Structure 1
Amino acid sequence: MNADHWLKYITAEGIVISQSHLKGDWGIEMASADGSYFHFVAQGGAFFSIDGMDEVQLCAGDLIVLPQGDAHKLKRTKNSSTVSLGHFVKHSNGLHRKDPDATSFLCGAIGIDRHMVMPAIKSLPRSLHLKAGSGNVAPTTIEVLKQLRTEVENAQLGSQVVIRNLLSTLFVYVLREWSENAKAEAGTWFSAMQNPHIAKALACIHERPNHNWTLDRLAQEANLSRSTFANQFRDSVGETPHSYLTRWRLGIAAQLLNQTTLSIGEIAYKVGYRSEFSFNRAFKAARGRTAAKERESRQPQGTPLLVPTK
């Protein structure tokens, strides 16, 4: 089933933490973070490792994404020693060694509204390796990887803006490809997206958050009995239909608070709340602050939580 009904509401922002062109031995050890990491190798090669998984060799043009922000290491060779991200950024970020054998790479984070996509993030593998020369990666994704490599290798005016946009596009492509093509494990959000009954109910929630959705009404849309729908939804998505609906509504509300001048009452109505009071109560319970405080912050949508640098 086409996943555009949820992806069109997802915004992502690529944040570059470090960009270097290094010769010789080097290594970075990154602590776990409440966000999504990425590493992109434009030239040369590197080795990526995460506890409990086989080490991965990265070649020129490869991108690796850690959706759940697991602790990991990135090294020039398998035996290279590592330093903390904070130490590396202080001493090696921005260095450019003029040597054809140097490794050119980006390290950073992907900013997303994790409240909205948490079930999807939890369903993704701990790391996603996009190989530039792989036939398993969509042509559109390969093209963006090529563009990213060009921008990193040939930095020009505006390259940082282009790089951030390309990284954002790549992450959305990753989510789209995984939701449509991967053999999702049973009991995960992506398996729910591939279940025509549950996917129909999810599409209803995503496209019409202001509708007065009830369990009975969503079950009818899914063409399932009330009890069967409730059980299948909870088992595959990982939460009840009501919980998912609430979180999605408040995610859309957060976007509207940051991106529009609509009043809080108007936003409440647009996402399915018939009173500003009930909306504010739900928003604070889910987000930890009132809708007014959310609007005051006016942070760009998708800004990631701070990545630890020590």
Structure 2
Amino acid sequence: MDVLTDVLNGLELKGWLSSRRELTPRWRVAFLASSDSVFHMLRFGAGYIFVEGEERAIEVGQGDVVFFPRGQAHTICDDPAAPLSYTVPLDHTIGQPYEIFPSAGGRTDQALLCGAFRFEHPGLFPLLHLLPNVIHIPGAHGHMQPAFAAIVNLIASESASPQPGRGAVLSRLAELLVIQMLRVWIEQQDAAATGWLAALRDGPIGGAVGLIHQHPERQWKVEELASAVALSRSAFSARFTQLVGEPPMRYLTRWRMHCATRLLKKDSMPTEEIAERLGYESEGAFRKAFKREVRLTPAQYRRRRSASAAG
């Protein structure tokens, strides 16, 4: 089973473009830490990003996209000696209108596009904790993958023109941008990758993860998974925990809950049926596990999703 495709297909996120900031040369903009993940698209020649907690500046340029999965505070400038222009709080309410901030000098050829994204129940998603503090995807010299570049160019074009429905279009494009970013980052990881990605590349453990994803409803036992990948129980358990970062049964539970959030979107599907599909002997056992992992009952989760969709 293609586990990465399965995981990316099930990714639940909200993305949005919050602002376009047009700039006059010798500028410096400070961005406060955000509870959301943040990204910037750079529409200027050359500059620098200083990230809180990092010693070295990141050199950036025209067309680059920079992601901050943990929303760390950072400063962007075209000249390290430039005085502070202003400070931006990036915490953003979903649905808040997209804004354009013209430059004091009236220039539009240099701009910073700012956006954010929010994962639903990130603790259930096995990839997110592996992401670094900063992901820099250069746009110059044709290094950017064509599919990624196409999304970037669409966002840049849409952000500059006041077309009807612009906010909705930018939100969908931002979500596509994030998914494409994850794909690019995954492809960039080499054989020295650690954690969950390393587990997928390990023959026996990757096989076991695939079995869990393919059949979350099965009453898996550690010895069954070990036997399926031709390892002893103790060797399998130790190797799985070392690579994945948690024991096999804990991973199974989290993946079941991730699947449950997807199934609960189908209002017509009874909770009892969802419990059965995910291998729980009773609806009560499923409700208890869901509440423990998601901090909501299945009914509360459904109501919250309905309210969010209506809003």
TM-score (norm 1): 0.84
Larger CA deviation: 186-195 vs 277-286 = 186-195
Who is 1:267 aligned against?
274
How far off is 1:63 after superposition?
1.0
Q: 1:105 aligns with which of 113, 129, 133?
A: 113
CA contact (8 A) 2:275 2:286 kept: yes
Q: Distance in 2 between matches of 1:8 and 1:159?
A: 25
Q: Distance in 1 between matches of 2:138 and 2:164?
A: 28
How far off is 1:114 after superposition?
0.4
Q: 1:223 aligns with which of 217, 222, 230?
A: 230
Q: 2:205 aligns with which of 192, 198, 201?
A: 198
Q: 1:95 aligns with which of 93, 101, 121?
A: 101
How far off is 1:182 after superposition?
0.9
Mark the CA change 1:175 to 1:104 in structure 2 (over 3 Å): closer, same or farther. closer
CA contact (8 A) 2:218 2:279 kept: yes
Q: Distance in 2 between matches of 1:150 and 1:21?
A: 14
Who is 1:85 aligned against?
89
Who is 1:18 aligned against?
19
Larger CA deviation: 244-253 vs 142-151 = 142-151
Q: Distance in 1 between matches of 2:14 and 2:238?
A: 35
Partner-residue secondary structure (3-state), 1:244 = helix
Partner-residue secondary structure (3-state), 2:260 = helix
Q: 1:241 aligns with which of 241, 244, 248?
A: 248
Superposed CA RMSD: 3.0
How far off is 1:294 after superposition?
0.9
Who is 1:307 aligned against?
none
Partner-residue secondary structure (3-state), 1:74 = strand
Comparing both chains, which one has the higher relative contact order based on Cα–Cα distances under 8 Å and sequence gaps of 6 or more? 1
Who is 1:140 aligned against?
147
How far off is 1:86 after superposition?
6.3
Partner-residue secondary structure (3-state), 1:47 = strand
Mark the CA change 1:163 to 1:42 in structure 2 (over 3 Å): closer, same or farther. farther
Partner-residue secondary structure (3-state), 1:239 = coil
Who is 1:58 aligned against?
60
CA deviations 1:247-296 (Å, max 9, x no partner) are: 11112212222343211111112222121111111111111121111111
Q: 1:281 aligns with which of 268, 288, 291?
A: 288
CA deviations 1:145-194 (Å, max 9, x no partner) are: 22222222334223322222222122222222333441264541221122
Alignment of 1:135-214 (within 5 A): 136-183=143-190, 185=192, 187-214=194-221
Larger CA deviation: 228-237 vs 48-57 = 48-57
Who is 2:50 aligned against?
49
Q: Distance in 2 between matches of 1:221 and 1:162?
A: 46
Mark the CA change 1:48 to 1:109 in structure 2 (over 3 Å): closer, same or farther. farther
Who is 1:5 aligned against?
6
CA deviations 1:19-56 (Å, max 9, x no partner) are: 332335341222152x4221122455553221224212
How far off is 1:246 after superposition?
0.7
Q: Give the counterpart letter for 2:58 in structure 1.
A: V
User: Alignment length, in residue pairs?
Assistant: 299
CA contact (8 A) 1:38 1:64 kept: yes
Larger radius of gyration: 2
Q: Distance in 2 between matches of 1:248 and 1:56?
A: 36
Partner-residue secondary structure (3-state), 1:191 = helix
Q: Distance in 1 between matches of 2:300 and 2:158?
A: 38
Identity %: 27
Q: Give the counterpart letter for 1:193 in structure 2.
A: L
Q: 2:257 aligns with which of 250, 261, 272?
A: 250
Q: Give the counterpart letter for 1:285 in structure 2.
A: R
Q: 1:74 aligns with which of 69, 73, 76?
A: 76
Partner-residue secondary structure (3-state), 1:298 = helix
Structure 1 gaps, min length 5: 303-310
Q: Distance in 2 between matches of 1:88 and 1:15?
A: 9
Structure 2 gaps, min length 5: none
